[in-house]
Structure 1
Amino acid sequence: MKITIYDVAKEANVSIATVSKVINKNGRISEKTKRKVYRVMEELNYQPSLIASALMGKQTKTVGLFIPDLANPFFSELARSIEDRANELGYNVVICNTDYSIEKENKYISLLQQKSVDGFILASGFEKLKRVEELMNEDIPVAIVARDFPMFPVNAVAVDDFMGGFKATSYLIDLGHKDIGIIARDVWSNRERLRGYKEAMEVNGFKIPDFKFAKDTTIAAGEEVTNEFLKSKKPPTAIFACNDLLAIGAIQAAKAQNLKVPDHLSVVGFDNTMIAGIVDPPLTTIAQPIQRMGQEVVDLMIKMIKGEKEKARITLLPELVVRESTKEKDNNELDDLSVIN
């Protein structure tokens, strides 16, 4: 049987209003009465209802966080930074892993609305502008992180993905590479990184190789696309992968074909997650300021919960972190990797 506030009031021999004041820490209640109510709550294992609090016009101090893939270290690190900042400010976070599924997104939104969460933080994979608009029209605080809806007035915190793609590709070009492949998934952040890659290639007069989106953002997808590159008539001497997992897949595919990274193939990733420093060889990558992104989006969310209406769009700059998966192209070495295969 579920214990209710009525059971606590009856057992403590006080009014329901007194129990409510003790729970919400307001009103003038004696220390003796507080101790008695707390003792009864503990004895009965009573958990205050968030829904009941919401119905009384109170905040539930809970935020829903939608993450597309918790297996991706970038999103797990981002979720941790969001949760840490929220807890620091007295809020709880319910994390929903959506697997890039619109069906799951809708299911979790409905579920959390029933639980009367105070707001929603939506991470990169969330593609449905209409759903965001519906939430905002219901006066539900919404903030976007690790992506943007530039055509829509919504609070957002993101890195400049276009600049990150441009930086990664320009760095490889500066190392002397001309044949540069890219691995990207068809989601907002990767599309922007792809746009930066294309811009860097075009301004340098280099041909963009045949391209198709990876099926997902896993190590296996990185291996699959890299294998396709290495089978081509003119394989790339460098690859820019739009996240660290895809980059690790590229490294593994090269090793499987007895190619040395970076001697035969330079690889650049994106995110600078903790795995970038421990893979062999350590990965050159574009760093996102993950900790700051999490802090900024939580701060925006809480301002909205407290009634601030003004929208903010925060764009952070990416940084290139050079490690051992890239090197200057040696023109004396074989240019055509197909000869090695």
Structure 2
Amino acid sequence: MKVTIYDVAKEAKVSIATVSKVINNTGRISESTRERVCEVMERLNYQPNIIASALMGKQTKTIGLLIPDLANPFFSELARSIEDRGHESGYDLVICSTDYQPEKENKYLTLLKQKRVDGFILASGFENLDKVEELVKEEIPVAVVARDFPMFPINAVALDDFLGGYQAASYLIKNGHRNIAVIGRDLWSNRERIRGFKQAMEENGLKHRSDFEFVQDIHHVDAAKRVTMKYLNSDDRPTAIFACNDLLAIGAIQAAKAWGLKVPDQLSIIGFDNTIIATVVEPPLTTIAQPIQNMGKEVMDLMVAMITGRQKEQKRVTLLPELVERQSVVKLGDPLHLDHSVHK
């Protein structure tokens, strides 16, 4: 038999109004009464009806997070950061993985609206502009993280992806690399990274080869491995690869090893994100770090400020990337650098 608010009030010897105040953290209640009501709710395993509360115009204390791929360590680490900050603020998170599929984005948005979540956080990879516009028009609190929608008046926490791509190319060029290939998926953040990458190439008098850029439907290790194999089969193969995330960099490393090449001695690889896998792969991955913890904290703080009405104006936060040097990039011309001939 389901426990009701009436059962809690009777057991705690208080009024229904007092239990409601404890649940919603409103009104003036003595600490001893609050503790007694909370103890009874826990003992009886009472679950407030958040949907009913939402229909009465109250908050459900839940936020929907749409991310494209939980298998990517960047998104799992980001989701954890957002969830931890939400817990600190008294909010629960409903996490939905969309697999970069617009139909899943639509499905989850509809489902979460029905569940009356207080707002939405959309992560990088969400490209459905019509749905973003719909949320804005419906005045539903929405914030984006690890990307931006500059055409809409919404809160955003983004990385300076242009600068990150610029840093990656500059570092490889500084280490003597000229033939540099790119692996990524066609997303807003990656487009910015590649734009920064090309800018650094141009400033150093280098031409970016179109046949060394693959930014189509690729977000898993196996796909990155296949693309890298294609690059390595080129007559003038690259000496370095810029992967737009660490997961793709792992695929590139696997392809090099399968080809019989030593990383970094015969092929240098730089990633992006600085997730946990960058430290455990062999060799440890040089990468462009995103401040994942700060991103999660900032976007949740913006969301809570919107929901509670503390923030009226939209705010955009841009965080800076940082190069993390490990052992996956070699300096060409270094005495330790091996011959670049292919040993297949």
User: Please, what TM-score do these two structures have when normalized by structure 1?
Assistant: 0.91
Asked if 1:316 is matched to 2:319, the reply is yes
Aligned with 1:80: secondary structure? Answer: helix
- Structure 1: give runs of 5+ residues left out of the alignment: none
The answer for the alignment partner of 1:207 in structure 2 is 207
| 1:310 Cα offset (Å) | 0.4
Between the aligned partners of 1:317 and 1:140, the Cα distance in structure 2 is 29
Partners of 1:214 and 1:225 within 8 A in 2: no
1:150 aligns to 2:150 (yes or no): yes
* Alpha-carbon RMSD: 2.4
Match of 1:261 among 238, 260, 263: 263
Q: Give 3-state SS (helix, strand or coil) of 1:96's partner.
A: strand
How big is the shift at 1:277? 1.1
Change (3 A) 1:58 1:205: same
The 8 Å contact of residues 98 and 104 in structure 2, kept in 1 or not, is answered as: yes
2:333 is matched with 330
CA distance in 1, matches of 2:321, 2:266: 27
Structure 2: where are the runs of 5+ without partners?
A: none
Aligned ranges 1:53-132 → 2 under 5 Å: 53-132=53-132
Contact 1:234 1:336 in 2 (8 A): no
Per-residue CA distance 1:193-215 (angstroms, 9 max, x = gap)? 11112222222222322133243
Alpha-carbon offset, residue 57 of structure 1: 2.4
Change (3 A) 1:173 1:53: same
Tell me if 1:285 matches 2:282. no
Distance 1:95 1:253 in 2: 33
Q: Is the 1:64–1:119 contact (alpha carbons within 8 Å) kept by the matching residues of 2?
A: yes
* Contact map agreement 2:78 2:292 (CA 8 A) in 1: yes
The answer to whether the Cα contact below 8 Å between 2:182 and 2:214 also exists between their aligned partners in 1 is: no
Comparing 211-220 and 84-93, the one that deviates more? 211-220
Question: How many percent of aligned residue pairs carry the same amino acid?
Answer: 68
Q: Residues 291 and 319 of structure 2 are in contact (CA less than 8 Å); yes or no, is this contact kept in structure 1?
A: yes
Q: CA deviation at 1:83?
A: 0.9
1: CA distance between counterparts of 2:120 and 2:201? 38
Deviates more, 1:203-212 or 1:177-186: 203-212
CA contact (8 A) 2:265 2:338 kept: no
- CA deviation profile, 1:107-127 (whole Å, cap 9, x unmatched): 111121122111111100111
Structure 1 match to 2:24: 24
Find the aligned partners of 1:35 and 1:319 in 2 and give their Cα distance: 46
CA change 1:90–1:329 in 2 (3 A) is same
Moved more, 141-150 or 23-32: 23-32
Label 1:62 to 1:177 Cα distance change in 2 as closer, same or farther (>3 A). same
Q: Output the amino acid matched with 2:147.
A: R
Q: Give the TM-score taking structure 2 as reference length.
A: 0.90
Q: Secondary structure of 1:285's partner?
A: strand
Distance 2:73 2:188 in 1: 18
The residue number in structure 2 matching 1:304 is: 306
Q: CA separation in 1, counterparts of 2:121 and 2:263?
A: 38
Residue 191 (structure 1) shift: 1.3
Question: Taking structure 1 as reference, are residues 252 and 19 closer, same or farther at Cα in structure 2, changes over 3 Å only?
Answer: same
Tell me which residue corresponds to 2:195.
Answer: 195
The alpha-carbon distance between structure 1 residues 318 and 32, as it changes in their structure 2 partners (threshold 3 A), is closer
Aligned length: 340
**CA 1:166–1:29: 2 relative to 1, 3 Å:** closer
Query: C-alpha displacement at 1:13, in angstroms?
Result: 8.0
* Residue pair 1:143, 1:155 contacting (<8 A) in 2 also: yes
Q: What are the superposed Cα offsets for residues 77-103 of structure 1, whole Å, 9 maximum, x if unpaired? A: 111111111111221111111111111
Q: What is the one-letter code of the residue matched to 1:270?
A: F
More off after superposition, 8-17 vs 130-139: 8-17
Q: 1:237 touches 1:335 (CA, 8 Å); kept in 2?
A: no
